[in-house]
Structure 1
Amino acid sequence: MATTRTPPRFVPTLTEVVQGAPASPAGLPGVSHEQIAQRVLQRVDLALDRRVREAIATVVLEQTNALAPLLRERLDAVVREVVATAVAEELQARQRGGHGA
């Protein structure tokens, strides 16, 4: 035999109106639901825009910091190669044509 328990007094039942957020913007004369929704969306849009920009800036900075050593290594290799090639070409030119430049 199942016994029916009565819920505590502070638990609303399906027939009771739960007080909390108003169903209409009562107390705000001349303001419709749509106007409130637009204002909320504008605030959300501004906040999201700022936070997304901050998150992107953080990620770009982290990636740049991670890439910096690799970029330095590659640039160092390229500069060394270019300088070595230029010196070798200059030495070859001097051997062929004499000492004048």
Structure 2
Amino acid sequence: MTGRRPPRYVPTLTEVVPPPASPASDPGGGGEAAAMAQEEVVRRVLQRVDAMLERRLRERVAAVVMEQTQALAPLLQAEIEASVRQAVAEAFEQEFGRRPGGN
């Protein structure tokens, strides 16, 4: 197989590129431990951010609901009052409309 050439479509290595120097390639394995420590820090920070965002969102939603409830209260009272008045008026009308010669 020494004199045989590979087919045209097979890529061939034309340049030797050294591997990048990274903390993970330390012979003592310190890079791997550092990467794991960094991942742990990121995980803990994200948990804290998630908890803070959840608390703040809950507080803001509660404030908006309270504002809307306070704004709707007078309108709801007026609607309830009108409905009760109408229901009482209809009940009186039906009651007195059914009795022949009623008082």
Q: TM-score range by the shorter chain?
A: 0.5 to 0.7
Give me the identity figure in percent.
49
Structure 1's consecutive aligned runs of 4 or more residues displaced over 3 angstroms after TM superposition are none
- 1: CA distance, partners of 2:42 / 2:61: 28
1:81 to 59, 80, 86: 86
Distance 2:80 2:100 in 1: 30
CA distance in 2, matches of 1:34, 1:82: 66
Structure with greater proportional helix content: 2
RMSD, matched Cα: 2.1
Name 1:45's counterpart in structure 2.
50
Gaps of 5+ in 1: 1-28
Aligned to 1:32: 37
Q: With structure 1 as the length reference, what TM-score do the two structures score?
A: 0.63
Aligned residues: 70
Equivalence for 2:30: none
Equivalent residue for 1:63, pick from 53, 65, 68: 68
Deviation, 1:95, is 2.2
**Which has the greater radius of gyration?**
2
1:92 correspondence with 2:102: no
Describe the SS at the equivalent of 2:100.
helix
Query: Aligned equivalents of 2:95 and 2:86: distance in 1?
Result: 14
**Superposition TM-score, scaled by structure 2 size:** 0.62
**Cα deviation digits, residues 16-71 of structure 1 (max 9, x gap):** xxxxxxxxxxxxx8961110000000000001100100000000000000000000
